[in-house]
Structure 1
Amino acid sequence: MLPLERQKKIIELLKFKKVMKIKELLTELDISIDTLRRDLNILTKQGKIEKIYGGVKLAESPLAESSMDKRLISHIEEKNSIAQTCSEYIQDGDCIYLDSGSTTLQIAKYIKNKRKLTVITNSVPVVLELMNSNLDLIMIGGKVRKEEQSVVTYDYLFNFNQLNIQKAFICASGITFEKGISDYHIEEAITRKNIISLSSEIYVAADSTKFGKDVTVGITPLEKVDYIVTDQHIHETFITAFKDTSTKLIVANS
């Protein structure tokens, strides 16, 4: 079997089994360990697979948005610290917007005891989290994105102009100085653009892995964002660079 054929076979096996041990691959392909290592090194350099302890798995595409279920357990400590810090900027009597996303869902857990707080959201999990609280809840109307557990709105279904939002807490999949805030899904981006245009203060809640990434759809340039709240793992170069911008970078405590 030619090297390209073996490598194609490895990808096909991983698509079926998701994760495979080295011993399994040796048996399936009937090749030496040195030959397998060469093939795996090539596929790893091509970004097609990832090596894990004792085996390999298919690599996730950097251009694809991971599912909400995966994001809910990914970087959870960092997201909790970001959420707690965000909650400190929310006062009794505020009218706020909580975006759909795993980090903003954590914010909902910290604001249940606020008084006379109005929460506007497009996130089904946020609504469920706050359902039994004393907060006033407003959910925007529109099309349900099942994979994101969110509602992406249309102007003819929801009148944005009637909203008076003091503080909007927005999620992002990418943050760069050149392109600003970006996301994977165009309908989510449109909803966020509308909310940003109507809100007095814009907070972006994003863990440190989002910095330096520019993904599919631009949401807003950096100068339109008042605050970015992130975790303590953000690289020092970003902290220094933000000192020359109008956007305040807030680093949450661990």
Structure 2
Amino acid sequence: MFPLERQQKIIELLMIKKVLKISELTLELNVSVDTLRRDINLLSKQGKIEKIYGGIKIADMKFGESAIQERMVHRLSEKEAIARTCSELINDGDCIYLDSGSTTYQIAKYIQNKRNLTVVTNSIPVINELMNSDIELVIIGGKVRKKEQSVVTYEYLFNFHELNIVKSFICASGITVEKGISDYNLEEAITRKKMIELSKSAFVAADSTKFGKDVTIAIAPLDKIDGIITDSNLNKSFENQFKKTGTNLIIAKGS
């Protein structure tokens, strides 16, 4: 197992058990204590975990994922501009996936005049926004995350492969050229990974504050993402970095 895979596994185990002993991890990962300590020191420096006596725990998310209600009004003009640009990528007759999140929610406001559109989503706010429209709605079944007003699901609860998604619009809490896109919640990340796999084209809708951050759970490297739509406040250095990748960076008009 490569170091990055091992470190991701540590995070995933912590998302389930919250606290782990060093002895548990050495057995689970089949590595030496010295190797494990190097991983722990790196994850601790990145702010993803905290060391405790005899073990580790997931870091307190004081500056992590905020509630959906807070994010709905934060940087609203930028998110609206991103949503308008995303809507221009959506054609009549498409079947699309709208992820849970404050930016993808805004997309729902700009697609209601599209014809023969099907929207698959795990976002309760998106469902509420489109409920009285002519859009065909499919909500994936599973567990409700009340704080995020989203549904997180698994293969045994929902037959993903029956879906024929032309374009997916995914949210992310972190974006880097090196690591791709990431998020704070393991269950949301699993759903996003699945939707990226199933979609013919995968787009990330994220404001410029998400760039340069690599947060707790990896979702996908950039080579799995066709385009990232963001606002005009993005630092020019990121624009230059993305020119060297195969992912199209789209700056929203009027942002």
- TM-score in same-fold range (> 0.5): yes
Q: Deviations over 1:21-80 (max 9, x none)?
A: xxxxxxxxxxxxxxxxxxxxxxxxxxxxxxxxxxxxxxx956521010110010000000
% same residue: 64
Instruction: Provide the rounded CA distance (Å) in 1 between the counterparts of 2:251 and 2:199.
Output: 22
**Secondary structure of 1:209 counterpart:** helix
Aligned pair count? 195
Does structure 2 conserve the Cα–Cα contact (< 8 Å) formed by 1:116 and 1:136? yes
Q: Equivalent residue for 2:94? A: 94
Q: Equivalent residue for 1:244? A: 244
Instruction: Provide the rounded CA distance (Å) in 2 between the counterparts of 1:154 and 1:238.
Output: 34
Q: What is the Cα-based RMSD across aligned positions, in Å?
A: 1.1
**Secondary structure of 1:189 counterpart:** helix
Q: How far did residue 241 of structure 1 move?
A: 1.2
Instruction: Provide the rounded CA distance (Å) in 1 between the counterparts of 2:197 and 2:95.
Output: 15
Q: Equivalent residue for 1:77? A: 77
**Secondary structure of 1:65 counterpart:** coil
Q: Equivalent residue for 1:145? A: 145
Q: How far did residue 253 of structure 1 move?
A: 1.6
Does structure 2 conserve the Cα–Cα contact (< 8 Å) formed by 1:228 and 1:247? yes
Q: Equivalent residue for 1:134? A: 134
Q: Equivalent residue for 1:202? A: 202
Does structure 2 conserve the Cα–Cα contact (< 8 Å) formed by 1:63 and 1:215? no
Q: How does 1:169-248 map to 2 (within 5 A)?
A: 169-248=169-248
Instruction: Provide the rounded CA distance (Å) in 2 between the counterparts of 1:161 and 1:126.
Output: 22
**Secondary structure of 1:83 counterpart:** helix
Q: How far did residue 238 of structure 1 move?
A: 0.7
Instruction: Provide the rounded CA distance (Å) in 2 between the counterparts of 1:192 and 1:149.
Output: 15
Instruction: Provide the rounded CA distance (Å) in 1 between the counterparts of 2:209 and 2:227.
Output: 17
Q: How far did residue 150 of structure 1 move?
A: 0.2
**Secondary structure of 2:143 counterpart:** strand
Does structure 2 conserve the Cα–Cα contact (< 8 Å) formed by 1:168 and 1:195? yes
Instruction: Provide the rounded CA distance (Å) in 1 between the counterparts of 2:78 and 2:62.
Output: 21
Q: Which has the larger radius of gyration?
A: 1
Q: Equivalent residue for 2:35? A: none
Q: Equivalent residue for 2:42? A: none
Question: With structure 2 as the length reference, what TM-score do the two structures score?
Answer: 0.75
Question: With structure 1 as the length reference, what TM-score do the two structures score?
Answer: 0.75
Q: How does 1:114-125 map to 2 (within 5 A)?
A: 114-125=114-125
Instruction: Provide the rounded CA distance (Å) in 2 between the counterparts of 1:237 and 1:178.
Output: 14
**Secondary structure of 2:229 counterpart:** strand
Q: How far did residue 157 of structure 1 move?
A: 1.0
Q: Report the residue type matching 1:226 in the other structure.
A: D
Does structure 2 conserve the Cα–Cα contact (< 8 Å) formed by 1:97 and 1:120? yes
Does structure 2 conserve the Cα–Cα contact (< 8 Å) formed by 1:182 and 1:214? yes
Q: Which runs of 5+ in 1 are unaligned?
A: 1-59
Instruction: Provide the rounded CA distance (Å) in 2 between the counterparts of 1:161 and 1:62.
Output: 37
**Secondary structure of 1:165 counterpart:** coil
Q: How far did residue 248 of structure 1 move?
A: 0.3
Q: Which runs of 5+ in 2 are unaligned?
A: 1-59
Instruction: Provide the rounded CA distance (Å) in 1 between the counterparts of 2:80 and 2:66.
Output: 19
